[in-house]
Amino acid sequence: MSSRETPATGGLETTRQTEEQEQVSYKVFRPPQSGPASPPELPESYFTPTAADLQLAQAQLSARTHALTDAPFKGRAVREAEDKAKRERWPTTTIRVKFPDRTQLEKTFPSTDRIKSVYVFVRSCLRDDVKPTKFILYQSPPKRDLRNSDPKVRDLSLSELQLSPSSILLFRFEDPELNHSYLPAPLLPSVLAHAQDLPPPPNFDSEPSSSTSTPAPKSSASSLMQGAEKKVPKWFKMGSKK
């Protein structure tokens, strides 16, 4: 009898391992119990840009200007090389689907997958009574419907849709009566059984006080001008003596 029971026990263990693997393939987050917390009050110095901030903003503006200027002249090979670099940098894409009641469903996909993979996953998590109901995944703001029936969306990868490395997609049924925020997310009980609380947002007040006690020196306008005067070319100085 004992020899016959061993295979059955092994089968149960295999089933449990399979279920555990399925559990970790996605995440479910409960809707927050309270409304969004008000942002912490920031000191006036936070909004005063430093010299490093100004340099970084100038560099970003210059890079964006060059990108817009050179974009029409990029050949197909260059664009394909850039897309390949993006895929190598972000091989996977994390999609978090947010329902009207603020329940969130998260799963990671290969960045080469199409939006159809996301639709198939979301539909597999819906209750049986709403599985046949059509729904739309979209972004907002600005509002952007990612319909699987749209060739401009259907034929592109998640990376080409600019969803990598992670994006939040909103969920809505085509029937507006099913999109009220007081209705619970229409997910299977087996899916909701894995629900967990959302991780708390970062607390900026908990930063070490040493960072605020010794602020980085800021370059004033006068000091910048003085630095500029020290770097005047020799030929300009010689010309000014005449």
56: Cβ–Cβ under 8 A, 6 or more apart, which residues?
A: none
Q: For 194-225, write each residue's pLDDT tens digit.
A: 999 988 776 655 555 444 444 444 444 444 44
Residue 69 covered by a domain = no
- The structural domain count of the chain equals 1
Residue written as token pair 């009566």: 177
Residue 117 covered by a domain = yes
Residue 36 covered by a domain = no
pLDDT class of 171 with cuts at 50, 70, 90: very high
| Residue 120: CATH number of its domain | 3.10.20.90
| pLDDT higher at 36 or 165 | 165
Residue 5 covered by a domain = no
Residue 10 covered by a domain = no
For residue 185, pLDDT beyond 90? yes
Hey, what are 9's tokens?
């026990």
Q: Model-level pTM?
A: 0.60
Residue 91 covered by a domain = yes
Residue 158 covered by a domain = yes
Residue 150 covered by a domain = yes
For residue 7, pLDDT beyond 70? no
Calpha distance 210→112 (Å, rounded): 45
pLDDT class of 155 with cuts at 50, 70, 90: very high
Which residue range forms the structural domain that includes residue 112? 77-178+185-193
